Chain A
């Protein structure tokens, strides 16, 4: 019996071209003013940003602070404030749309150089390729606005604190005096 090897007939270029979209890029469904991710059970209505722009920002947020155990919806929640702000601030909206357009242009160029199928940031399947783009723009106002908003917008979400092992407020439980303030025995 003849067994095909996995990569039989697949040259390097085809393999790279097949590297595909990011997980979010593959899962999302875009409608008029809405971004839906049915497989993850969440979606958002948008006031100002294009849904594709928001999706790209969510991916960018994950690439800035990549916590593999934190679901996309928490990054989306952190990005919502930008959409809210964009609704009343044309300059802010333009900064975000332009920033994402620039990101997509750079992604397209990277895809071309590497021989991937052409596309935008969400079509760049390898994190390392996306991070290389972010490193190039990290001093830009757009990047800093994104990163700065995440420091509070992501890490101040109580819902993700358990993933880091942080228990939050303790006074209502009487502090930790009876709950393990000195419980380690490995030192």
Chain B
């Protein structure tokens, strides 16, 4: 039977979310001939609908449903209703992401083994290894067209990269290049090459940056085995007396509620919504929420150790021109505890337009110091810093007392830095400022974390069912036909931007689901 599917068709795989995890899984299953329905809460905006304007685009794409915050992170004060900057639209946050596609390093799959007991951290080794993942990484890189892999040439460096590269080389950094980016450096896969428009975060109007919106999803739809139902917001996952999931309750664009039956449900709503949905699906059989016998649903929320450094110069940079994340310094991504922390961090160029620079440079800041920094806007270079943060059980997505537009408990996002995160950030700020000082910066601005773009770990993978929510295939320990397919599976966060790993895990999970269906295990 071909798409579209009937609500009562209980043979379909239902995927909740259409981003890096859900969109990829949907296409992979459809390619195998498996009937699949993706329910996406957001609307479908095609690439030509994207807007080259930061606030207008934010209004078009960002997930702005009710959320609350707590903890000592500065985001809870500066952006109390906006803990994360992620997307509600077909394609999910792959519309908004920068495109950085880095493999985890060998040691990062085994953080507990390499880092040892870190006080206050809830570290575990992943149940999978770098060797297990290598073939899936290779498939994902090919699928996404990642530069500097599979013979794909690098992107050209823009002005922002030139400044960072020159400073990095003066400091003696060696691993400096224009990145492994899922942005076409040449025409590939029916999509054009990067036009250096400078609006990667607002959705690439040229479709040069990989997004499930115009790659995986239409490819899956072409098979006749994938239906993507936009503006379909899942409210609850339902189960039968045998404890197996049977379908999902969702609200359509008009708020009318429907139940879509399912043989298998895969949750890929990002690390805030995915655990919230499991928690909001509690029943008399599953009093603490679905798949939560470990009590780990929502726990161990990670958001990467992040920060930025902007620097002003006596000459123009015009850093807003070209690829937003146009290059990387990788020398600090190693695990070297002599620096005073475990794990490492990457330094990646970043540029914001005037509107977002005003919002993020120093949230709450004002006066002549702030204005002077803004006045130097076109003389600025900038980098984002992303490193491994420590999983902590107390950092968690829980159900808030506040309700969303459907009357369901909104998610509360609680986060406080671990001492290791603080030590790493301070080191990274110092090194980032040194990079720019080395090429004559007149002023440097260490900048605090933005609302989270990398939300991870809230349904984590574990060998032992008491330590986490899913097994090494992303299958929940408690319910065989319920899967997690997004970054919430992450056992630990590693230093790298997570999308490539989410896509690789989704490809791997599709193989497993197909095999288990064939064997009639699920």
Contact = CB atoms under 8 A, between A and B. Distances in A.
A151 interface: yes
B23 to A, nearest CB: 23
B322 A176 contact: yes
A187 to B, nearest CB: 4
Interface stretch (A11-19, A89-97, A107-115, A159-167): A159-167
Chain A: number of interface residues, binned into ranges: 35 or more
Contacts of B371: 65-67
A151 B206 contact: no
Contact of A164 (B54, B55, B197, B374): B374
Contacts of A155: 354-355, 357-359, 374
A92 to B, nearest CB: 19
A138 to B, nearest CB: 8
Contacts of A147: 364, 366
B89 interface: no
Interface stretch (B127-135, B159-167, B268-276, B301-309): B159-167
B71 interface: no
Contact of A182 (B316, B322, B353): B322
A156 B55 contact: yes
B355 A152 contact: yes
A163 to B, nearest CB: 8
B205 A66 contact: no
A115 to B, nearest CB: 25
A187 B377 contact: no
B317 A184 contact: yes
A182 B232 CA distance: 43
B188 interface: no
Nearest to B162: A187
Contacts of B53: 168-169
A95 B293 CA distance: 50
Interface residues of B, number: 45
A71 interface: no
A170 interface: yes
| Interface SS of chain B | loop
Contacts of B196: 175-177, 181
A123 B375 CA distance: 27
Given A67-B375, A155-B354, A155-B358, A170 B198 contact: yes
A186 B354 CA distance: 23
A161 B354 contact: yes
A168 B378 contact: no
Contact of A67 (B54, B374, B378): B374
A136 interface: no
B4 interface: no
Nearest to B359: A151
A158 B439 CA distance: 31
B52 interface: yes
A160 B354 CA distance: 10
Interface string B21-56: 000000000000000000000000000000011110
A13 to B, nearest CB: 28
Interface in B134-186: 156-159, 162-163, 165-166
A124 B322 CA distance: 45
Contacts of B240: none
B105 interface: no
B206 A168 contact: no
A64 interface: yes
A181 B378 contact: no
A170 B159 contact: no
Contacts of A170: 52, 197-199, 321
Given A164-B374, A164-B378, A181-B159, 7 more contacts: A65-B374, A170-B198, A171-B206, A175-B206, A177-B196, A183-B318, A184-B317
Interface of B: 52-55, 156-159, 162-163, 165-166, 194-199, 205-206, 315-318, 320-322, 353-355, 357-359, 364, 366-368, 370-371, 374-375, 377-379, 439
15 contacts: A67-B371, A131-B367, A147-B366, A156-B54, A164-B378, A165-B316, A168-B52, A169-B53, A176-B195, A176-B198, A181-B321, A182-B156, A182-B159, A184-B159, A187-B439
10 cross-chain pairs, A with B, having the tightest CB-CB distances, nearest first? A165-B378, A175-B195, A169-B52, A175-B197, A181-B322, A155-B358, A181-B196, A176-B321, A187-B166, A164-B377
